[in-house]
Amino acid sequence: MKVIGTGLSGLIGSRIVDLLSSRIHFEHLALENGLDITNHTAVFEAISGSTASWVLHLAAYTDVQGAENERGKGKDSVAWRVNVEATKNIVEICHTTRKHLLYVDTDYVFDGVKKSYDEQDTPNPKGWYAITKTEGEKHALSLGEHGLVIRIANPYRSGSSGLVMKMDFVHKMIDRFKKGEVIVAPTDQLLVPTFVDDIAYAILKLLQLNADGIYHVVGSDAVSPFSVATEIAKVYGFDSSLIKKTTFHEYFFNRAPIPQYAALSNKKLQALGVSMKTFHDGLSLMKEQECTM
């Protein structure tokens, strides 16, 4: 199988390539290769010239606060140009070339009012980052049977502390523990940590099925940030007294709006026979992997 993709050198994409390169031939659309995904002509030439049947669109502007700061710029903001305009261009190219598109979206498309969300729930994004990603999702779904959207949430993976581009949220906490720094974490927020290895194998299954529509590709339990920090301390043997409780509203006061409750259900994905780990199991496996690196 051949896949041409954006964002394949990032936190998630690089792990997908590492795990699936024996089964998938990946072609990279990236700045490192001299290609700007906002350049319609260059992207059209690359995708139309490829024999890949799937386009995997991982690249996005993901700075949530940075996006919010540019909200007043509207369609001139970086988030809109990358997350909406570039996606729209890729969708149009996929339509012309009859390629399938897999668009990677976020749990932030929801408003966080409900405690749990499935694929039938209507997005209601609050932050500018989330709004732009939701618009990109709409474009991807316009491809019908050639459009696949996966919503992921709070990804973490082995080795991310050594990546130049980004450290995942779990390793940020691990880093603070190692430095003996206090970790302030809300107890009344729900999120779903997702092991990136599981995302990779779920994507492989969806590509093999030529799936379309929306799938929540997330872990199998919803936890609070306080519970995340507590589990990390337990698994790694860190000092749990460094963890201090706070509330969602106190922690995110004057920050970009995000959903307080973002417990995405993965039942639709599980029905395909895809298993997604709980945070305890994923964290334990991540620790084992890093011990052998």
What the block records as the tokens of 253 is 């006061």
Q: What is the mean pLDDT of residues 51-75?
A: 97
Task: Give 213's strand partners.
Answer: 148
- Could you report the per-residue pLDDT of 97-134, keeping only the tens digit for each? 999 999 999 999 999 999 899 999 999 999 999 999 99
Q: How far is CA 121 from CA 107, 109, 199, 202, 284, in A?
A: 12, 10, 21, 21, 32
| Rounded CA Rg of the chain | 19
Confidence of residue 96 (pLDDT cuts 50, 70, 90): very high
Q: What pLDDT is stored for residue 122 in this prediction? A: 98
pLDDT at 186: 98
Q: Greatest CA separation found in the chain?
A: 57
Q: What is the mean pLDDT of residues 198-215?
A: 98
Q: Which of the four pLDDT bands, split at 50, 70 and 90, describes residue 8?
A: very high
Q: Please give the average per-residue pLDDT across 209-220, as a whole number.
A: 98
Q: pLDDT at position 163, please?
A: 58
pLDDT category, 165, cuts 50, 70, 90?
Answer: low
Q: Residue 194 forms beta bridges with which residues?
A: 155
The confidence score (pLDDT) of residue 289 equals 96
Asked whether residue 66 carries a pLDDT value surpassing 60, the answer given is yes
pTM confidence score: 0.96
- The DSSP 8-state label assigned to residue 123 in this structure reads P
As a whole number of angstroms, the distance between CA 105 and CA 128 comes to 14
Q: Please tell me the predicted confidence (pLDDT) of residue 34.
A: 66
Task: Please determine, for residue 32, whether its predicted confidence score (pLDDT) is greater than 90.
Answer: no
Looking at every residue in the chain, the average pLDDT score rounds to: 95
d(CA 196, CA 21): 15
**pLDDT value for 30:** 75
